[in-house]
Amino acid sequence: MSDKKHTTSSGIEIKELYLSARPMEERPGEFPFTRGIQKDMYRGRLWTMRQYAGFSTAEESNKRYHYLLNQGTTGLSVAFDLPTQIGYDSDHEMADGEVGKVGVAIDSLKDIEILFDGIELKNITTSMTINATASSLLAMYIALAKKQGADLKQISGTIQNDILKEYAARGTYIYPPKQSMRLITDIFEFCSKEVPKWNTISISGYHIREAGSTAVQELAFTLANGKTYLKAAIDKGLDINVFAKRLSFFFNCHNNFFEEIAKFRAARRMWAKITKDLGATDEKAQMLRFHTQTGGSTLTAQQPLNNVIRVTNQAMAAVLGGTQSLHTNGYDEALSLPTEAAAKIALRTQQIIGLESGVTDTVDPLAGSFFVENLTDEVEAAAWAYIEKIDAMGGSVNAIESDYMQQEIASAAYQYQNEIENGSRISVGVNKFTQKEEGITEVFNIDDSIRKIQTQKLEQIKTERDNVAVTKALNLISDAAKTDTNLMPLIIDAVEKYATLGEIADVLRNTFGEY
Q: What pTM value is reported for the model?
A: 0.89
On the question of pLDDT at 447 being above 50, the answer is yes
Q: How far is CA 249 from the centre of its chain?
A: 7
Lowest mean pLDDT among 31-35, 54-58, 128-132, 256-260: 54-58
> 437 and 474 in one domain?
no
The domain boundary, picked from 415, 448, 481, lies at 448
Q: Based on the domain organization, do 411 and 501 belong to the same domain?
A: no
Three-state secondary structure call for residue 113: helix
Is 231 in the same domain as 365? yes
Coil/strand/helix, residue 358: coil
Do 120 and 154 share a domain, yes or no? yes
pLDDT at 21: 76
16 — pLDDT class (breaks 50, 70, 90): confident
5, part of any domain: no
Pair 283, 408 in one domain: yes
Q: Are 281 and 402 in a shared domain?
A: yes
Domain holding 500, by residue range, is 465-512
Q: Report the chain's mean pLDDT, rounded to a whole number.
A: 93
Kindly indicate the confidence band of residue 237, based on its pLDDT and cuts at 50, 70 and 90: very high
Q: Please report the pLDDT score of residue 446 as a whole number.
A: 64
Q: What are 140-198's pLDDT values in tens digits? A: 999 999 999 999 999 999 999 999 999 998 899 999 998 999 999 999 999 999 999 99
One domain for residues 386 and 480:
no
Is a pLDDT exceeding 90 seen at residue 488?
Answer: yes
Q: How far apart are the first and last CA of the chain?
A: 55
- For the segment 210-223, the average pLDDT, to the nearest whole number, is 97
- Whole-number Cα distances in Å, 317 to 236, 278, 359: 38, 30, 11
> Tell me, what CATH number does 258's domain have?
3.20.20.240
Q: Residue 387: is its pLDDT beyond 50?
A: yes
Residue 386 sits in the same domain as residue 482? no
Helices (H), 428-487: 449-464, 467-481
Write b or e for each residue in 196-217: b if 16 or more Cβ atoms lie within 10 A of its Cβ, otherwise e.
Answer: bebbbbbbbbbbbbbbbbbbbb
The pLDDT score that the predictor gives to residue 444 is 63
Distance between CA atoms of residues 483 and 478, nearest Å: 9
Whether 10 is in a domain gets the answer: no
Q: Is residue 137 part of a domain?
A: yes
Q: Per-residue pLDDT tens for 103-136? A: 999 999 999 999 999 999 999 899 999 999 999 9
Least confident of 193-202, 355-364, 430-439, 456-465: 430-439
Task: Give the confidence band of 74 by pLDDT, cuts at 50, 70, 90.
Answer: confident
Are 362 and 487 within one domain?
A: no
Residue 35 has pLDDT above 80, yes or no: yes
Indicate whether 188 and 225 sit together in one domain.
yes
Tell me the per-residue pLDDT of 262-300, one tens digit each, with 9 for 90 and over: 999 999 999 999 999 999 999 999 999 999 999 999 999
For the chain, what is the domain count? 2
* Cα–Cα dist 449/453, whole Å: 7
Do 168 and 268 have their domain in common? yes
Region class of 106: left (phi > 0), else alpha (psi between -120 and 50), else beta? beta
User: Residue 1: what pLDDT?
Assistant: 45
CA distance 73 to 125: 11
